[in-house]
Chains A and B, each alone.
Chain A
Amino acid sequence: MAAAVEVEDLVKTYGTTRALDGVTLQVPQGGVLGLLGPNGAGKTTTVRVLTTLLRPDSGRASVLGIDVLKDPDKLRRIIGVAGQYAAVDELLTGRENLVLVGKLYHLPKAEITRRADELLERFELTAAASRVVKGYSGGMRRRLDLAASLVNRPQVLFLDEPTTGLDPRSRLRLWEVIEDLVRDGTTLLLTTQYLEEADRLADRIAVIDTGKVIAEGTSDELKDRVGGSVVVVRPANSADGDRAFAALSTVGEPVRGASGDLTLPATTGVTLVTEAARVLEEAGIAISELALRRPTLDDVFLTLTGHAAEQAEEQSA
């Protein structure tokens, strides 16, 4: 399969910040790549370069064989993009927004009407179509923005955190819409902070951190990198977090989770559970949960980016 999106060694700096520090990635024709990374990793910057909105300092990028830097207008015809923040016109109605975009693509009038109706329907905006966007909820704006990105039936679609701010039902609905598009052959690059989203939609996942792709593979491949399983530890008293971290560091490389949990990649399986229990007991730390489970993408994310953060600290120290 030929690559639909090819990115090689993109660099973009803002002052001393290296927003992109040599990003290289590929999306095969008809494939879905999930670009996963913490805040400030460079996800939006990557998408902006690929959608002709931003010139990188160096590097190469092409979409369907079209050079992003040399032939942006040709590219704009065949791609669709929905940015991280909905770019809709608040003073126009939902339908007028789509019609405006259709006109700017120079589509025939009848086609614009048909397409607008179809997209409004697909994104459940038909009832609100004649209302001014100012009165839309955040989720409705997002959906309208996504609809706008599909007006020209793009062959390659870029979605920057498409479901951020959507309620669970809308998110599910949107996933279905995206899956439909992919089934029809659309190539998709999406960024997300929801691992569940990457797990469900993406064939391949690229983990990006501080402007670099630090891991790439299928969801299973990435999980294997963490080890066959992980040990999860939850201190009974959240104030014990630091001490538990120190204790666990003697038997592995703990990673702090969002909820105060600590996870240990468990290459040695069950033995690690007993070891963890022992060091915690010796340190006198009460725990409310200690378990062994399959790694989730969450663990992958934390392990990979957690390590990267540690290394950065060591280097600067």
Chain B
Amino acid sequence: MTTPSLDAPAQGGLRWAVKDALVLTGRNLQHTTRQPELLFFSTVQPVIFVLLFRYVFGGAIETPGLSYVNFLMAGIFVQTTAFASTSSAVGLADDLSKGIIDRFRSLPMARSAVLAGRTLGDLARIVLVVLVMTAVGLAVGLRPASLGGMLGAIALTSLFGFAFSWIQAYIGLSVPNVEAANLAGFVWLFPLTFASSAFVPLDSMPGWLQTFANATPVTPTVDAVRAMLNEGLPLQAPLLRSLAWIVAITVVFSILSVRKYRSVT
């Protein structure tokens, strides 16, 4: 059975859909301010990562032509935003389990608004986390090549996190409860982010793992962020590949998630 009229509000159309999404983004941000401890720990975690990798592995890993800090930061940026995206899965699973989604579904809202509000609000948190990491990175010896390159790195990382939030939104709607959302949101991110160019040069890995690492969205994104940080260069192959991944993930998973949202009960 097709349900075309479920897609958008009968009147108001796109303008209302955007407004609904913004109202719910506001709600998501309000939640953040009501849980300062959550915000604190979600920023402390990346800080600890930066310090750990910098000082534990910093001496041991060969990074030709770069200081390990300059090599490392791109990896930490990308991994941390991927981890931060799990809050989209957890947030939606929480809304579902508390029945709030039922309230929203009984209102004349665009079906996409709850999801867009979630991912946009989470994007704001991701940007904040990236900025904190940048500050810590600078403090422990990160020396970006140019301001433009650094801003580009911050922007690309944040967009990457936003795309992953849509995957997480789909996960959050698909699992039975908040605990499962937390686990299901995280578990695949470990192999995906560690088996990449995030923390060690790819050529130090066995061939089959390099093949895997090159086939994921993580490696081109890390490479592009690294290049922007260290060379200040914007346009190159990894950047285009990374952007292609970001667009593809966002489009595919927003469609899947909205479809899922309509059918959850």
Contact = CB atoms under 8 A, between A and B. Distances in A.
Given A76-B107, A91-B35, A100-B27, A106 B102 contact: no
Interface in A100-121: 100-101, 103-106
Given A54-B265, A87-B103, A91-B31, A73 B23 contact: no
B38 to A, nearest CB: 10
B4 to A, nearest CB: 10
A194 interface: no
Interface stretch (A77-85, A184-192, A238-246, A249-257): A77-85
Contact of A71 (B5, B8, B12, B99): B5
A87 B99 contact: yes
B245 interface: no
A103 B23 contact: yes
Nearest to B8: A73
Contacts of A70: 5
A89 interface: yes
A85 B19 CA distance: 28
A90 to B, nearest CB: 7
A85 B99 CA distance: 7
A197 B34 CA distance: 38
Interface string A60-86: 000000000011111011010101011
Contact of B10 (A74, A86, A90, A101): A74
A82 to B, nearest CB: 9
Interface residues of B, number: 29
Contact of B109 (A54, A55, A90, A104): A104
Contacts of B107: 76, 101, 104-105
Contacts, number: 74
A148 B103 contact: yes
A6 to B, nearest CB: 19
Contacts of B5: 70-73
A73 B108 contact: yes
Contacts of A81: 106
Contacts of A148: 103
B49 interface: no
Contacts of B108: 73-74, 76-77, 104-105
B98 A87 contact: yes
Interface string B95-136: 000111011111111000000000000000000000000000
B106 A51 contact: yes
B142 to A, nearest CB: 35
Interface in B19-34: 19-20, 23, 27, 30-31, 34
B9 interface: yes
A86 B99 contact: yes
A53 B105 contact: yes
B21 to A, nearest CB: 11
Contacts of B1: 55
Given A73-B108, A85-B99, A101-B103, A91 B16 contact: no
A146 B8 CA distance: 26
A53 B107 CA distance: 10
Contacts of A145: 103
Q: Which of B19, B107, B109, B265 has the most CB of A within 10 A?
A: B107
B247 interface: no
B27 A89 contact: yes
Interface string B69-109: 00000000000000000000000000000111011111111
Nearest to B27: A100
B6 interface: yes
Nearest to B108: A76
Given A71-B10, A72-B6, A104-B20, 4 more contacts: A53-B106, A73-B6, A92-B34, A104-B23
Interface pairs A-B: 3 shortest CB-CB = A87-B99, A87-B103, A76-B108
Interface of A: 48, 51-55, 70-74, 76-77, 79, 81, 83, 85-92, 96, 100-101, 103-106, 132, 145, 148
